[in-house]
Chain A
């Protein structure tokens, strides 16, 4: 770099820097394709390695290197200690370098199938991708997988980097054969492909051209990176800005802060806020550095509207003449990222742009084999699997097809207990039924139905192990309520499985569906005004919470029949524990399958030292205290 050093030079330099664009790109390839060596080469040749790092690298190369004492550039890149030992890149690592023309952010991701999620993470913010191929091996299963994920996550510009040309004598025929094979395979993926033969090890066609391959007259990798156009036309799209935060420093100012997702905004623009539907006009575009006459994609601004509009975080402000779609029923692609499988029917939180809502995967249509792109039937999604299905949201959200806009077309799914991010997805389209199926408003409602019964309808949900005494207690309790002229109904696990849920088994997926149906049934009964007693093992916290959320506040009374496993097993009224221990029943709760005790149940019954009559009496008193029954 120059060291001419007068302040004027530096100012000129800084102006150049400020006007440089940044390209974010992804590198994908396997351990042996030389990916880390390639990135190391880019950093090394662009002089971004400092002396002390170089000294450490030389020492590391002698100790762990694979290049026989030569500098091993891959060691520059492999970050975490555990990875260094195993010799593979586990996570996504970000690297930075710059040339005179552009700044670069490299997302370095591992290539094994078990790291599909990491690759997707790198792809989500990348504008271009380098797919590495070992010239000796050609197009492999992993090449297909990488290409599919790159395409799924909306990257259009791709370099097929055919590496290790030094090991095939820089043979043009090898290169041409691989290019041909790849073109054939990638035809339907919608990628713009540039093929470059290279050797990351000696730098051929990485930074500049190479005498070693005179037959190649295309760009070097760096030339391509410096010039590829990834602008994407967001500027011309209709204006959209998700509201992140309502900015109210005092009573005189009320603005909506957010980052513009697409289009341009200026004072006077007519806008609509969705999903609420409110309309207004932009009065000011406020920033710390003064009001702006206009602002575009990626800019973080605060918008003041002409009217007092009551909008909150999660709304999207958009151009009124071309508003964003809203829906609560959506067809989506999902990539599952958690060790615990996704099951249709289970509830998650969905976050898209700045809005978070509870949601359910109502249907899983198929999963996609990421290696072959074949559709396969699926009843669940496992870690790193991609599936296509339908989502039902508890509230309408503003959305765009992912292909049109990444910020408004993407979502994450969070676990309802741990809040961990368990999956990510892409919106495809809104399902019609959301618009066409209107809730039929009935004149006789829950209140009027329950009023003539002189009771408050509710669900008394007895959960506990098999043999804990749930059904017996439910029976006694219903008898006592009946004596008090209350209108009741008991939904019993075993009985329901003889009819409504006859088609369900005992796998985790079926247990989830089992509880969902019972929950919906209980909800109908509450709507009918009944005191509904449910006696179900219902082993999972998530499903019990799902039922709680179906009902109104105070209607769900979770009763934990807290009988220890040893006692249930001693009682073994149906002989099931004996069979489970003998291996005759699989997935038996408490033995082959987990029981998750309630964290905050409304009531805990300890059945060890008391009869079912005493337990029912306790519950009755509790219900009376809650004004659910008068005694």
Chain B
């Protein structure tokens, strides 16, 4: 993080409000102490995030005294783009990928921190910590800068940028362990509690507001659930669980036999789909 600060002209931290973002932000507070992190947070709001995420976001930014930029793709909003009307692929592309590019272009950020980890998914295992993007924000897996020792090359020309992944070599277990060890606040949705859900394509979807179209006679059911990963509520599956504190979450993880990204609908469109999305500029 300090290397980015020293080499970039206008860095930003992408803040997705999830547990990895919470860890990344905590690390930034440490890295620059006693200074505040000398860059703003950017949240790309798809307008379909869980309400509790948004409350948490605003509260944390205020508590820590860091600058928060919220960007919403207004064109997408005026066209009424959403996961129910347009499907997960179009929604994610317009409200997340395109919206992120808009924000990066608008503020002319030349370096953006992201919380992605190499253990999450096979194509991420090969991405650099300092990941070069051309002026169209594209990632070229065949043409990455060699990254040896801890010598990071963050230099770019005008229009080009870096995505930087400080948590690249952390595993999911590392993240939870660190949250536990450092007592880092996370969105309460990670903890089990009774929540109204409906079942869609085998996934438990939380009825977070009244935009979710219920079928005739369909009644949301109260179940004790939690989320292992957070995103747009219509695309994020809950799991039934009684784990309502960190110790029990970690215990549940240790016996789990289903990996983390299964709760995300977007990974299922073909096994090389994440790599394709990344090349297009998705995180």
Contact = CB atoms under 8 A, between A and B. Distances in A.
Given A14-B180, A352-B151, A414-B155, A79 B258 contact: no
A5 B151 CA distance: 42
A339 to B, nearest CB: 10
Contacts of B247: 7, 10-11
B106 interface: no
Contact of A287 (B30, B141, B148, B153): B30
Interface string A323-352: 000000000000001000000000001011
Contacts of A50: 256-259
Interface stretch (B40-48, B118-126, B184-192): B118-126
B125 A419 contact: no
Interface string B139-178: 0011011111111010111000000000011010100010
B156 A419 contact: yes
Nearest to A411: B151
A115 B155 CA distance: 24
B146 A117 contact: yes
Contacts of A249: 34-36
A482 interface: no
Interface range on chain B: under 10, 10 to 19, 20 to 34, or 35 or more?
35 or more
Given A91-B144, A105-B169, A96 B153 contact: no
Nearest to B276: A81
Contact of B258 (A52, A82, A289): A52
Contacts of B30: 287-289, 300
A622 interface: no
Interface in A409-423: 410-412, 414, 418-421
Contacts of A354: 3, 6
Nearest to B130: A421
B150 to A, nearest CB: 6
B50 to A, nearest CB: 23
Contacts of B198: none
B280 interface: no
Given A14-B180, A50-B256, A53-B259, A125 B149 contact: yes
Contact of B153 (A9, A353, A407, A414): A414
Given A96-B171, A407-B150, A247 B123 contact: no
Interface in A336-385: 337, 349, 351-354
Contact of A81 (B118, B119, B250, B275): B275
Interface string B1-25: 0110110000000000000000000
Nearest to A84: B272
B251 A244 contact: no
B32 interface: yes
Nearest to B36: A249
A3 B29 contact: no
Contacts of A432: none
Interface string B250-283: 1100111111001000000001100100000000
B259 A244 contact: no
Nearest to B273: A81
A121 B151 contact: no
B181 interface: yes
B31 interface: yes
Contact of A245 (B6, B173, B262): B6
A120 interface: yes
Contacts of A56: 271
B5 A424 contact: no
A410 B149 contact: yes
A244 B149 contact: no
A541 B151 CA distance: 26
Given A5-B251, A257-B2, A300 B31 contact: yes
A94 B169 contact: yes
Given A244-B6, A247-B34, A124 B148 contact: yes
Contacts of A419: 153, 155-157
Interface string A73-105: 000000111101000001111111010000001
B34 A245 contact: no
A589 interface: no
Nearest to A50: B259
Given A245-B2, A257-B2, A3 B254 contact: yes
Interface residues of A, number: 71
B136 interface: no
A378 B119 CA distance: 42
B254 A121 contact: no
Nearest to B246: A10
A555 interface: no
A1 B253 CA distance: 10
Contacts of A93: 122, 125-126
A81 B5 CA distance: 34
A3 B251 contact: yes
A410 B155 contact: no
A17 interface: yes
B251 A80 contact: no
B122 A79 contact: yes
Contacts of A3: 251, 254-255
A612 interface: no
Contact of A14 (B31, B126, B148, B177): B177
A60 interface: yes
Contacts of A120: 146, 148
Contact of B149 (A52, A124, A287): A124
A582 interface: no
A80 B34 contact: no
A407 B148 CA distance: 10
A259 B36 CA distance: 19
A51 interface: yes
A1 B257 CA distance: 11
Contacts of A82: 141-142
A80 B275 CA distance: 7
A248 interface: yes
A18 interface: yes
Contacts of B149: 124-125, 406-407, 410
Nearest to A406: B149
A411 B29 CA distance: 29
Given A18-B177, A79-B123, A244-B3, A288 B169 contact: no
Contacts of B145: 420-421
| Max count, chain A CB within 10 A of own CB: residue among B5, B245, B251, B272 | B251
Contacts of A10: 247-248, 250-251
A60 B271 contact: yes
Given A247-B34, A414-B155, A421 B248 contact: no
Given A7-B248, A337-B146, A96 B119 contact: yes
A253 interface: yes
A340 to B, nearest CB: 13
Contacts of A124: 148-149
Nearest 6 Cβ contacts at the A-B interface: A50-B259, A419-B155, A124-B148, A81-B272, A288-B33, A249-B35
9 contacts: A3-B254, A5-B248, A14-B250, A17-B173, A50-B259, A80-B123, A91-B141, A349-B155, A407-B149
Given A94-B168, A257-B31, 8 more contacts: A14-B180, A79-B125, A80-B141, A84-B272, A96-B169, A124-B149, A244-B2, A410-B149
Interface of A: 1-3, 5, 7, 9-11, 13-14, 17-18, 50-53, 56, 60, 79-82, 84, 90-96, 98, 105, 117, 120-121, 124-125, 244-245, 247-249, 253, 255, 257-259, 286-289, 300, 302, 313, 337, 349, 351-354, 406-407, 410-412, 414, 418-421, 424
